[in-house]
Amino acid sequence: MAGVVATIAATTVAVVTLLVARTVVTPPRRRPEDTRILSVDGAGDLVTLSSNVDSRLPGEYSLFFADGSGHARVGDIVAQTPDAVIRRLLGVDRGDLARARRGRFSGWFYTGPADLGFPFEDVDIETELGPAPAWVVPAEAPTTRWVIEVHGRAVRREETLRAVPVFRAAGFTALLVSYRNDGDAPSSLDGRYGLGDTEWHDVAAAIRFAVDHGATDVVLMGWSMGGATVLQTVTRSDLAGVVRGIVLDSPVIDWVTALRFQGGLLGLPNPIRSGVIALLGMKWAGRLTGQHEPIDLPRLDFVRRSAELHVPILLMHSDDDGFIPATASLALAAARPDIVTYERFTVAGHTKLWNFDRDRWNAAIRHWLATAPLSAD
């Protein structure tokens, strides 16, 4: 009997490990709607939501509903109880919020470049997998300074629209990119995330596009997994010489740290967490996870590789980030105080720093752009 129990336990561990590993690298087909929409007042000025970490966070956010087909924008908290939060309803862009029962918060806020009120252009960037759609928002005056903005895992380039105004005011043309497997750009052959280990090729193609259109000085900005992708780009692309600086918002600096943290949130025991990390890096495991190539997790660790970074970095992270812990960001800042400017938030969540305190976020970027040594000299 003991042998049977041991076999069942070992099988259970193996199955759970595989399922989690596949989840890490598989783009989700839908996002969970974890906030109940309790009511919308008759005037359409207020919305009452169930109380959770997102709905209690001050600031302005997107509220997606109806499986993502509906979109509203919510603002300040008006009142709250232990079970419910009443927020100002800033507008409904699409869908019938009054009929919706569940939704999810997002830091996107803007639904497209037209929301910003600036001229923009739809372009295609030629990547090794085919044309990847992007938006170009030109600076007010001709410039050779570009910012390339890279979104995070399981979202799209709309996430990056928040950074356009502050960069444009500083004289930058903004290029907002898509990358493989994000739902806009072409899929890779395996349809799996590389956690930055493959996506950087598409960002390198974006740098080529910018250079071909007159860019001589490029700043790369990445959110979450986009941060990991940006760091791979600046250390692996033969076009990295035009990159003058990096801005990171809630970035993945070390995937092992991030994956262990996320496993802890799921209540997974250490053997399963370690097994997931091992599977992602094993070539033979691709038959199980669907990956064509293993992910080189040590190559994605920029605490260990901090000496390889040579351009100024503005790094913004919140201590309460419930998805990517700030520990690796803090470690990178401590390892490279000569190039890293660290903007430490305490109550802003994951990739919602702009939403929580727009003025502070913009001021941090504006000051860094004005004072960091971003020239080629």
Residue 6's pLDDT is what? 46
Q: Which residue has the tokens 């760091």?
A: 231
> Which tokens in the block code for residue 364?
């941090």
Residue 14's pLDDT is what? 67
Range 71-79 contact pairs with CB under 8 angstroms and sequence separation of 24 or more: 71/95, 71/111, 72/47, 72/97, 72/103, 73/109, 74/47, 74/49, 78/46
320/245 Cα distance (integer angstroms) = 26
Residue 20's pLDDT is what? 83
pLDDT, tens digit, for every residue of 112-166?
A: 999 999 999 999 999 999 999 999 999 999 999 999 999 999 999 999 999 999 9
pLDDT, tens digit, for every residue of 227-238?
A: 999 999 999 999
Q: Is 281 exposed, middle or buried (0-12, 13-18, 19+ CB in 10 A)?
A: middle
Residue 9's pLDDT is what? 46
256/99 Cα distance (integer angstroms) = 42
Percent of the chain scoring above 90 in pLDDT: 83
In sequence order, what are the residues at sequence separation of 6 or more whose Cβ sits closer than 8 angstroms to the Cβ of residue 306? 332, 335, 336
**What domains, with CATH codes, occur in the chain?**
35-106 (2.40.10), 113-254+301-371 (3.40.50.1820)
pLDDT, tens digit, for every residue of 277-298?
A: 998 999 887 888 889 999 999 9
